Amino acid sequence: QQQVKQSPQSLIVQKGGISIINCAYENTAFDYFPWYQQFPGKGPALLIAIRPDVSEKKEGRFTISFNKSAKQFSLHIMDSQPGDSATYFCAARYSSASKIIFGSGTRLSIRP
């Protein structure tokens, strides 16, 4: 049973467009929600993260939107660029432990 459900599995966006990746969770014990970006041949790297008491966080072209009542959060990439082509993972951390649970990943391709 996947504790963090991520969609879509793959996404193709034109250069300059908006990329949107969605995640949903059930466990209310999660207290941090990070997003990781992974390029081929590399390990995932932290991209941006949000706490559940904030509805939105923006860093440059990357924005997390968080809906606590719906238990959903999403990553928006504005003005998507070919260099954004990567696999993106949403994740959630248990408040009582250090461990993080990851979503299944979204392979994003930005077409020039």
- Tokens representing 76 are 């928006």
| Range 37-61 burial, b when 16+ CB lie within 10 A, else e | bbeeeeebeebbebebeeeebeeee
Instruction: Tell the smallest beta-carbon distance from residue 15 to another protein (Å).
Output: 26
- Which of these segments, 54-62, 63-71, 77-85, 102-110, binds another protein (CB under 8 A)? 102-110
101 binds another protein (CB under 8 A): yes
94 binds another protein (CB under 8 A): no
Instruction: Tell the smallest beta-carbon distance from residue 4 to another protein (Å).
Output: 8
Chain positions 49 to 88 lying near another protein, rule: CB under 8 A, are 49
Among the listed residues 34, 36, 52, the one whose alpha carbon sits nearest the alpha carbon of residue 44: 36
- Tokens representing 57 are 């966080």
Burial of 99 from C-beta contacts in 10 A (0-12 / 13-18 / 19+): exposed
Instruction: Tell the smallest beta-carbon distance from residue 69 to another protein (Å).
Output: 22
Query: Which residues are at the interface with another protein (CB under 8 A)?
Result: 2, 6, 9, 32, 34, 36, 41-46, 49, 89, 91, 93, 98-105
